[in-house]
């Protein structure tokens, strides 16, 4: 059975920084740091440890502009590639996750996923900054895939050894996909493309390059098939059942001026609704991984 990972610091250090557990089985909340300024090496290192061990880190009460968001993101690595969402004007690496109060298009990103897992090098981390946050609903849910893997029976884990997952963006971003030609009335600037038909292979289970902990990487949706195993469709259905039980889910509640960063190698995430009649706007960056599945 997975055990909630401990965060070593819950009291301020000399600089005033506190890193406390989030209200869930994983995740952390950081206070006592001003993200309008560059992070010193010590502080950035401690935040990174919290991020790769706890999976999700929230920074409440940070009044940031897009320069601050970009500088914070670059503390953790270079920007990632972000296909299919046009960046906001004047910024090459910031996407607007937007929904208008009266929007009727299906919710964006409501299915569990790991960001852009269909890329050869998918983002290690994603940052999301809350600008217009509805008074109700709009939580982001996270599911810890290290905990999910640890909870699997040994026999199932053994069957996953060497299994290769085939990823594709086709279900979402191809012209015939969910956000393709038929997707009308959406305020987000999504650009569908035939490029989304391409495929990319990754091991289904990967070791985290910084902690060594093994996790299921991505899920059904971006994963369209399993290879190097018997009866891949049935095996994928079996794996999916273990990926998001409530014991491994943290439901993140947003506040305006809150920044959240998560590790896509540790968690799946999904958007939730429940805020009809209210605008919701967040700015998003991704941070590249350094590897091409070197750690297995």
Query: Shortest distance, CB of residue 191 to ligand SIN, whole angstroms?
Result: 16
Nearest CB to ligand SIN, comparing residues 17 and 248: 248
282: part of which helix (H) or strand (E)? Answer: strand 280-288
* Contact call for residues 259 and 64 (beta carbons, < 8 A): yes
Query: Shortest distance, CB of residue 157 to ligand SIN, whole angstroms?
Result: 27
Which position among 167, 265, 269, 283 is part of the footprint of ligand SIN (CB under 6 A)?
A: 269
Nearest CB to ligand SIN, comparing residues 238 and 279: 279
Which position among 204, 284, 285, 286 is part of the footprint of ligand SIN (CB under 6 A)?
A: 284
* Contact call for residues 125 and 287 (beta carbons, < 8 A): yes
Closest to 169 in 3D by CA, of 214, 128, 117, 206: 117
Q: Please give the structure tokens belonging to residue 239.
A: 């794996």
CA distance 30 to 21: 9
Nearest CB to ligand SIN, comparing residues 56 and 147: 56
Query: Shortest distance, CB of residue 27 to ligand SIN, whole angstroms?
Result: 14
* Binding to ligand SIN, residues 62-101 (CB under 6 A): 97
* Residue 208 touching ligand SIN (CB under 6 A): no
DSSP 197: G
Report the DSSP beta bridge partners of residue 127: 261, 285
Nearest CB to ligand SIN, comparing residues 137 and 209: 137
Closest to 214 in 3D by CA, of 155, 281, 147: 147
* Residue 140 touching ligand SIN (CB under 6 A): yes
Which position among 214, 271, 275, 287 is part of the footprint of ligand SIN (CB under 6 A)?
A: 271
Nearest CB to ligand SIN, comparing residues 51 and 97: 97
Query: Shortest distance, CB of residue 85 to ligand SIN, whole angstroms?
Result: 9
Nearest CB to ligand SIN, comparing residues 95 and 204: 95
Nearest CB to ligand SIN, comparing residues 176 and 253: 253
Query: Shortest distance, CB of residue 53 to ligand SIN, whole angstroms?
Result: 22
Query: Shortest distance, CB of residue 97 to ligand SIN, whole angstroms?
Result: 5
DSSP 246: G
Which position among 49, 109, 131, 288 is part of the footprint of ligand SIN (CB under 6 A)?
A: 109
Task: Please report how many Cα atoms fall inside a 13 Å half-sphere around the Cα of residue 214, on the Cβ side.
Answer: 13
3-state SS assignment for residue 62: coil
The count of other CB atoms within 10 Å of the CB of residue 159 is 16
3-state secondary structure 68-116: HHHHHHHCCCCECCCCCECCCCCCCCCEEEEECCCCCCCCCCCCCECCC
Query: Both ends of the chain: CA-CA distance in Å?
Result: 22
Nearest CB to ligand SIN, comparing residues 26 and 141: 141
Number of residues binding to ligand SIN, judged by CB under 6 A: 6
* Residue 160 touching ligand SIN (CB under 6 A): no
Binding site for ligand SIN (CB under 6 A): 97, 109, 140, 269, 271, 284
């Amino acid at each position: 059975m997975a055990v909630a990972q401990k965060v070593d610091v819950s009291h301020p250090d000399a600089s005033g920084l506190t890193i406390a557990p989030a209200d869930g089985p994983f995740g952390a909340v950081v206070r006592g740091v001003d993200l309008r300024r560059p992070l010193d090496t010590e502080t950035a290192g401690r935040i990174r440890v919290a991020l790769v061990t706890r999976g999700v880190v929230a920074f409440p009460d940070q009044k940031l502009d897009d320069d601050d968001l970009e500088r914070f993101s670059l503390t953790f690595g270079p920007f990632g590639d972000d296909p299919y969402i046009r960046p906001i004007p004047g910024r090459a690496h910031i996407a607007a996750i937007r929904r208008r109060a009266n929007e009727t298009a299906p919710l964006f990103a409501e299915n569990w996923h790991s960001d852009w897992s269909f890329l050869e090098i998918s983002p290690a981390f994603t940052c999301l900054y809350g600008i217009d946050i509805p008074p109700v609903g709009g939580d982001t849910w996270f599911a810890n895939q290290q905990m999910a893997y640890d909870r699997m029976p040994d026999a199932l884990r053994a069957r996953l050894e060497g299994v290769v997952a085939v990823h594709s963006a086709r279900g979402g971003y191809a012209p015939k996909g969910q956000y393709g030609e038929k997707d009308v009335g959406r305020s987000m600037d999504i650009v569908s493309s035939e490029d989304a038909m391409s495929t990319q292979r990754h091991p289904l289970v990967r070791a985290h390059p910084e902690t060594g902990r093994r996790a299921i990487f991505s899920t059904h949706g971006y994963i369209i098939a399993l290879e190097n195993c018997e009866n891949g469709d049935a095996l994928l259905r079996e794996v999916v059942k273990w990926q998001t039980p409530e014991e491994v889910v943290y439901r993140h509640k947003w506040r305006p001026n809150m920044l959240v960063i998560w590790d896509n190698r540790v968690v799946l995430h999904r958007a939730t609704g429940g805020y009809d009649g209210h605008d919701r706007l967040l700015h998003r960056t991704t941070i590249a991984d350094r590897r091409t599945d070197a750690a297995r």
